[in-house]
Chains A and B, each alone.
Chain A
Amino acid sequence: MTGLASIRDLTVTYRRDGREVTALRNINLDVVAGERLAIIGESGSGKSTLALAVAGLLPASVRAQGHIDWFLPSNFGAKAPPSVLPDISPARGEIAPSSPRSPITRGAKGEPSEKLLISPLAGEMSGRTEGGAKDRQHFHFCPLGGRDIGFVFQDLSSSLDPVMTIGKQIAEVARTHLGLDWPQSFATAKTLLERVRLPDPDAAMRAFPHQLSGGQKQRVAIAAAIAAGPKLLIADEATSALDTIVQAEIVTLIRRLVVEDGMTLLFISHDIALAAELADRIAVFRHGALIELGTTRQVIDAPSQAYTRTLIDAHIGLDADLLLNRSGLPA
C-alpha cells in the first residue's frame, strides 16, 4: 500500500454571521494510491470542505490548519513539505520550501487565470499565514489543481463555461497542463469525449453546454477533469443532480476511467448505498469529524458507530419495509 496523500490534524474554520464555525476538526486520513475512497456524511458533515481542502480550493477567507502531505512523482510537481514524511519517499520527488508562490504561477506558463478551468483559487491556501495570530498555519498545498487533481462538482451549470465550446473547455486543460499546442489539445479533447462516451463527439466539440443534457454535461466535466491525467480524481456529489439512470451511468464511467488511468478516487456523497457500490473504503463524517473509517464491507456489515448504523438503516432500498399502512386505504 502506497500513500498518495496524508491528511494530518486538518482543522478548517470559517466565519458565518460573525461566528466562528468549525467545518472540519482534527481530521487524520491517509488516501491510498489507486484506491476508491468514499467520503460520506449528511449536510454540515464537512465532507465537501474536505474535498475542497484536498484540492486546495478552499476560499481564502477560511482558516485551515494542519498538513496534507503528498507523495507524488516529481514530474507531477509535488513539492512536499519536509515534515512528517515517512520512508516511502521514492515517489515523493524533490522537496522545496513551502513558498507563498502560487501553484498557478508555477504550472500555467503565463495567463494563469484564464487557463485554469478548475482552480482559480488554488494558490490562495499556499503557506498562508493567519495575520497576527501566533499559531502559524502549516497547511501546504503542493499538487496543482487541474493537473494533479481533477475535480468534478455537483453543479453542472456552474462548472462549465456557458459561452465556450465544449471542445475548447477540455482542450484548454490539456494545453495548459500538458504543454500541447492548440491542434494537439483539440485532438486530445476529442479523444476524451470519446472516452467519456459522449454521443457524436464531433458535434459535441462545437456544442455549448446548454445544448447538452445534464448527464452529457457531467461527462464533459469529467473529460475536462481528467484531461491532464491527474493522479487523483475528486467527485463531489458529482451524480446528485442527475436522475438514477444517468447516475448509474456516470458511476460506471467514473469506475472505468479510474481503472484505465490508474487514478485514485475521492468520491464525496450523501448516499451510503451509492458509495458502497463504488468504493473500496468508506470514511463517515459527522459534524466536521471523521467518525468511522474502514473497508466498505466492514462499514456496511459491521459499523462500529451507532451513527453509521443510523445512516445504513435510513437507506430506503428496493427491499425496504413498507412505510405505508395499506390497511387504511379503501380498495
Chain B
Amino acid sequence: MSLLAVSNLTKNYRRTGKPVAAVDDVSFTIEPGETLALAGPSGSGKSTIARLVLRLIEPDAGRIEFEGSDFLVLRGAALRARRARLQMVFQDPLAAFNPRATVARVLDDPLRIHGIASRAERPRRIAALLERVGLAADLAPRAIHEISGGQRQRVAIARAIATKPSLIVLDEAVSALDVSVRGQILDLLLDLQRQDKIAYLFISHDLGVVRAVAHRVILLNAGRIAESGDARAVIDAPRSAIGRALVAAAPKLNRAKT
C-alpha cells in the first residue's frame, strides 16, 4: 500500500473571472521512504499540489489517501492528529517561523501541541532534535532571526521531524540556500530518510538537485503531468517537450576533465 495516493486531483483558480486549472487531473503515489520530486516551470502547479496535499487549500476534485485512509474527509481534531505524520519545510524559514520566537520555542510548539513530550521532558527532546539536525544544543535560546539561513533551515527540519512524520513536503526547501550549505542540508535530509524511512515530496525547479536526490520525478506543465518516471532516466533522456526545455535551460558548468 502506498503511503500517499493522490488521484485525479484538480484545483481551479479564478483569474479576472476566468477559471484557470492550476492542477488538472493529477494522480501519483509515494511509497514509504521514497523521494518523489515535482519539477516544472513557474505556474506548472508544483506548489499548488504541495498545498493540496498538506490541506492548506482544498481541491475542487480528486482523492488524497494518506496512510491508508481518506485524508480529505478529516476535520478538526482528527485532521490535526494526522497532520503530525505529514510535515512541511518551505523555501524561506524566516517567513515560516514566528519572527519573535527562539529556536527552543519553535521546537517546543509541535512537541506540546501534539502531546509528544511532557513539559519537563521537552528541553531534553529539543536538545536531541537539534543534535539530530547537526546543531549545537546551546542554539536553543537564540532568536530565529539571529541564526544563519542554513541553521534556520536545519531548525525547520528539526521542527518537521519532531512529530515523527512519515512524509515531509519540501517546497523549494534548499533553493534559497548558499550552494556550500545546500549540499549539507541535502545530506541531512537523506540521512534522516535512511534512518526513519521518511518519504519526501520534493518540489524543486532545479533538475540537477532533483536528479541527485529523488527516486522518481514528475514533470509538470500547466497543471498536468507531462512526464514521470525514474528521476535519473527522465532527466537524462526527457521525452516530453517541457522535459527537454527544462534540461536545455539548466545552467551547465562545462568543466575540463581533470
Binding site for B on A (CB under 8 A): 42-43, 213-214, 242-249, 270-274, 276-277, 297, 300-301, 310-312, 314-318, 320-326, 328-330
Residues of B within 8 A of A310 (CB): 180
Report if A270-B211 is in contact (Cβ < 8 Å); known contacts: A244-B250, A300-B253, A322-B232. Answer: no
Q: Which of A42, A242, A271, A301 makes the CB contact (< 8 A) with B251?
A: A271
Known: A318-B211, A322-B211. 18 other contacts (CB 8 A): A214-B42, A242-B42, A244-B246, A244-B250, A247-B251, A249-B249, A273-B251, A274-B251, A276-B254, A311-B180, A312-B253, A318-B208, A323-B186, A323-B187, A323-B213, A324-B35, A324-B214, A326-B215
Is B138's CB within 8 Å of the partner chain A? no
Q: Which of B190, B247, B250, B253 makes the CB contact (< 8 A) with A324?
A: B190
Q: A276 to B35, alpha carbons, bound, how many Å?
A: 31
User: Is there an interface contact between B212 and A323, defined as CB atoms closer than 8 Å?
Assistant: yes
Q: A297 to B33, alpha carbons, bound, how many Å?
A: 41
Q: Which of B183, B206, B249, B256 makes the CB contact (< 8 A) with A314?
A: B183
Q: A214 to B35, alpha carbons, bound, how many Å?
A: 29
Q: How many whole Å from A109's CB to the nearest CB in chain B?
A: 39
Report if A318-B235 is in contact (Cβ < 8 Å); known contacts: A42-B180, A323-B186. Answer: yes
Q: A326 to B43, alpha carbons, bound, how many Å?
A: 31
User: Is there an interface contact between A248 and B252, defined as CB atoms closer than 8 Å?
Assistant: no
What are 7 A-to-B residue pairs whose CB atoms are below 8 Å?
A244-B250, A244-B251, A272-B253, A301-B255, A317-B208, A322-B212, A324-B215
Closest chain B residue, CB of each to CB of A317: B208
Q: A328 to B32, alpha carbons, bound, how many Å?
A: 11
User: Is there an interface contact between A248 and B254, defined as CB atoms closer than 8 Å?
Assistant: no
Residues of B within 8 A of A249 (CB): 249
Is B205's CB within 8 Å of the partner chain A? yes
Q: Which of A273, A277, A314, A325 makes the CB contact (< 8 A) with B182?
A: A314
Residues of A within 8 A of B212 (CB): 316, 320-324
User: Is there an interface contact between A329 and B215, defined as CB atoms closer than 8 Å?
Assistant: yes
Q: A326 to B254, alpha carbons, bound, how many Å?
A: 27
User: Is there an interface contact between B41 and A245, defined as CB atoms closer than 8 Å?
Assistant: yes
Residues of A within 8 A of B186 (CB): 323
| Most B-side CB within 10 Å, residue of A245, A276, A300, A312 | A245
Q: A283 to B215, alpha carbons, bound, how many Å?
A: 36
Residues of B within 8 A of A323 (CB): 183, 186-187, 190, 212-213
Residues of A within 8 A of B239 (CB): none
Residues of A within 8 A of B235 (CB): 318
Is B178's CB within 8 Å of the partner chain A? yes
Q: How many whole Å from B182's CB to the nearest CB in chain A?
A: 7
Is B209's CB within 8 Å of the partner chain A? yes
Q: How many whole Å from B124's CB to the nearest CB in chain A?
A: 29
User: Is there an interface contact between A277 and B213, defined as CB atoms closer than 8 Å?
Assistant: no
User: Is there an interface contact between A315 and B178, defined as CB atoms closer than 8 Å?
Assistant: no
User: Is there an interface contact between A243 and B254, defined as CB atoms closer than 8 Å?
Assistant: no
Q: A243 to B251, alpha carbons, bound, how many Å?
A: 12
